[in-house]
Copies of this chain bind each other. A is one copy, B any other.
Amino acid sequence: MQTLGAKLDHVSPGRVEISLIPRPEVSQQRGFVHAGAVSAIADTAAGYAALSMMPMDRGVLTTEFKINLLAPATGECIAARGRVVKAGRKLTLAQTEVFAQSGGKERLIALLTATLMAIEGRDGIAD
């Protein structure tokens, strides 16, 4: 997340928001934030949402995710909102909506669904 310049804006049980201010390092030629960076913050928001509902000694690893990229990632800020769809002891399903914010408005630019696996200890955590 540090490499991307993203920051954690909000955490409550089962809900997380991560935001990213578009910079040249995470953008492609046209100035859109790169799909890889959008996916990374979306996956991270899903992971933290899952983590937020687990005991302190657990970590999570993404086992699979799917993302639909609906519109170019442009604007003043890219916000990824993750929420837990179903929490399980072993596997958690989470979903993240990614919005592009511009001039006080926001529009949905991506939707991610991820399966997260709980792991013992904080080792290997998908931070």
Contact = CB atoms under 8 A, between A and B. Distances in A.
Interface of A: 3-4, 25-26, 28-30, 32, 34-37, 39-41, 43-44, 61-70, 72, 85-86, 91, 93, 95, 108, 111, 113, 115, 122-127
A64 B68 contact: yes
A26 B115 CA distance: 21
Given A28-B127, A36-B44, A63-B91, 13 more contacts: A28-B125, A29-B125, A34-B40, A35-B62, A36-B36, A36-B39, A36-B43, A39-B39, A39-B40, A66-B66, A66-B67, A70-B93, A93-B111
How many chain copies does the complex carry? 4
A123 B36 contact: no
Given A67-B65, A69-B64, A3 B25 contact: yes
7 contacts: A3-B25, A28-B125, A28-B127, A30-B124, A36-B43, A62-B69, A63-B69
